[in-house]
Structure 1
């Protein structure tokens, strides 16, 4: 370091520059103004001749610094604390090299940077991070952070506990390391969607397979995380276990459904035709739903609605239900009340799908000619439209008290004629495909879906 040529330059640097004699006359032989300021001296002359031991507080730090210097010939960014002449503690980074010259002997030349403000900021950040982690760990939900590659970067205790509690086996991994592929892929797609669009996913209900082989039902929210430049840098997710609540809701739902099925059984004992009709309508409706690619959950909804769709007839006089001749206008009006009767019975029961409305609408027609509300087209639920077609198909092919069965050909003719006016053409087309596959036979009597 050509000291005599660079002295002027060093005086204008913001970092401390020094030359330190490293023999019998150990001590500073040069420093710039920045170093005197770092070490709390008013003049450079206050430092010259002093030993490093006067400034480096920790004895083990001093010993380690000189050990590395003698072993490697240099030290880079060695972090330690110094005590200034005003007894103030500052954090510094020392970079130095050991130089040998015949005339001057061995000496150290290097720079010292004051990093107290950065160290304080880092400590503050670490404290804030610790405080954040404490808050996260106190929350009884699974909380997790992921980077832009959907790798897990941080979790709380609740999340870690679900996977054995070992952070080393969690951090840096993806959902593919913990969940079945199909489930992990859906999670990955959700994360990627949030990263791409910046739009959160809120309150998504899903089932997850845990490492112990059990399934649970959870509700998940995922939001984007932004860096200090306003760019999306990852995602944060929070997942709450709703299994106990879901089980309680399922039990309540099952209890209510069982009660309605008891009423349905009572109707069957009173009028066997009505209930066998309901079961067959259920088979037809599910076959149509399957042809329309409806989900297994929707198919179950169709089955329940079908089996209960005529429950309102329990309030119709039996002599009208089984009357062998033509119904009078008043009797027909009473029969039509069955949709309203059932709707009143179940409308205030909280089901996970619009069961009451489906049943209420199953005699509506898309041209508005149906009852009880005279609804048209899109105002009628899809499930109700399917029930309407299924009801007609079953009724026309079955013996009734007032007539013999009209046969499947006449039933198909009725559906074709009414397609686009009374009946949804998409549903009618689905029926035609099913009937064709069944060689124009009554396909629902075997009850196979």
Structure 2
């Protein structure tokens, strides 16, 4: 038994296929192919162009038939062989999937080329579908931006160098201390497996971590006797003064905050803010250890050097309370291998 189907405006009967239905003609596929504004071509295993859309052909001043039968690398690169990094070659090696690369097309600019595997009815790889999108303007903008960043980095590096020269002119001891601390920080960063970007920020902060001492009277910095309570309070202001000096400089890293925190301690006993634990940046925890070890190992205006073992004993005694335990362990490992990191400059 069959049942009549009720038809409503929302449920009309299916239309009979029209003889000229654009979705049922192969010509429609060609129309869609040619409507894609990017360049599209089908390339066989021998690198021969088998089909190309009109926008690509027009870019080469011809019609699609004018490019058929030519090797793709000859057309788009003007070369006798596939160029290095050719996604078509890589895909033929992989035999499936998709490959993408940014390549220069001779006389036309830079294109992001995506090659997708083209298979026959039996699933055999017979070539690739190339889709090429012009990214010249985008890549040039990115290159200009990268060049601007490099110029800024060089300018910042010169700024750091100038700050070091200013400190050295006023207080040679502090300048040498900063250089040795920076060397030790670089080694600690490697030992701890810190990312290169983090390492660069840490070393930059180490090179200027005592720049705030320019705000401390020179006679206090060079005093050959133990400081009074009032004088020590003046010296303790150098972390905040350094932060104030550095805060307006557009470093890629939190240099000013690391400098501000390098006298903070895990148990909250440090200064200037009495931060503790996770509130202290990791870079500042590394710098804190390097700063103490170098300071204790070296001669100071008011006392002779205490020696490396005394410095490491202080760090290990405070590991987990005042100092980061991972940094403390890394510091001993590094300085047992490379004690020359703390050697004064000739």
Secondary structure in 2 aligned to 1:402? coil
Indicate how the Cα distance of structure 1 residues 171 and 265 shifts in structure 2: closer, same or farther if over 3 A, else same. closer
**Alpha-carbon distance in structure 1 between the residues aligned to 2:76 and 2:180:** 55
Report the structure number with the largest CA radius of gyration.
1
Of 108, 111, 116, the residue aligned with 2:20 is: 116
1:341 paired with 2:238, answer no
Residue 297 of structure 2 corresponds to 397
| Aligned residues of 2:178 and 2:209 also touching (Cα < 8 A) | yes
Secondary structure in 2 aligned to 1:375? coil
TM-score (norm 1): 0.51
Query: How far does the alpha carbon of each residue in 1:279-317 deviate from its partner, in whole angstroms, 9 at most, with x for none?
Result: 000111111111112233333222211111111111211
Give the aligned length: 267
Of 141, 159, 167, the residue aligned with 1:267 is: 167
Residue 119 of structure 2 corresponds to none
Residue 154 of structure 2 corresponds to 254
Query: How far does the alpha carbon of each residue in 1:182-226 deviate from its partner, in whole angstroms, 9 at most, with x for none?
Result: xxxxx98xx9xxxxxxxxxxxxxxxx99789xxxxxxx9x9xxxx
Please give the residue correspondences for 1:415-426 in structure 2 after superposition, counting only pairs within 5 Å: 415-426=315-326
1:352 paired with 2:262, answer no
Residue 105 of structure 1 corresponds to none
Residue 387 of structure 1 corresponds to 287
Please give the residue correspondences for 1:66-81 in structure 2 after superposition, counting only pairs within 5 Å: none
Query: How far does the alpha carbon of each residue in 1:131-174 deviate from its partner, in whole angstroms, 9 at most, with x for none?
Result: 3x32x47xxxxx9xxxxxxxxxx9998xx99x886399656444
Secondary structure in 2 aligned to 1:421? coil
Residue 342 of structure 2 corresponds to 444
Query: How far does the alpha carbon of each residue in 1:220-272 deviate from its partner, in whole angstroms, 9 at most, with x for none?
Result: 9x9xxxxxxxxxxxx99997421111111221232133133213201101110
TM-score (norm 2): 0.66
**Alpha-carbon distance in structure 2 between the residues aligned to 1:211 and 1:130:** 23
Of 189, 200, 209, the residue aligned with 1:309 is: 209
Indicate how the Cα distance of structure 1 residues 125 and 362 shifts in structure 2: closer, same or farther if over 3 A, else same. farther
Secondary structure in 1 aligned to 2:224? coil
Shift of 1:331: 1.5
Indicate how the Cα distance of structure 1 residues 210 and 400 shifts in structure 2: closer, same or farther if over 3 A, else same. farther
Residue 194 of structure 2 corresponds to 294
Secondary structure in 2 aligned to 1:116? coil
**Alpha-carbon distance in structure 2 between the residues aligned to 1:125 and 1:348:** 59
Residue 268 of structure 2 corresponds to 368
**Alpha-carbon distance in structure 2 between the residues aligned to 1:210 and 1:415:** 54
Residue 285 of structure 1 corresponds to 185
Shift of 1:423: 0.4
Higher RCO (CA < 8 A, seq sep 6+): 2
Residue 220 of structure 2 corresponds to 320
| Aligned residues of 2:183 and 2:341 also touching (Cα < 8 A) | no
Please give the residue correspondences for 1:31-70 in structure 2 after superposition, counting only pairs within 5 Å: none
**Alpha-carbon distance in structure 1 between the residues aligned to 2:250 and 2:27:** 54
Write 1 or 2 for the structure with the bigger share of strand: 1
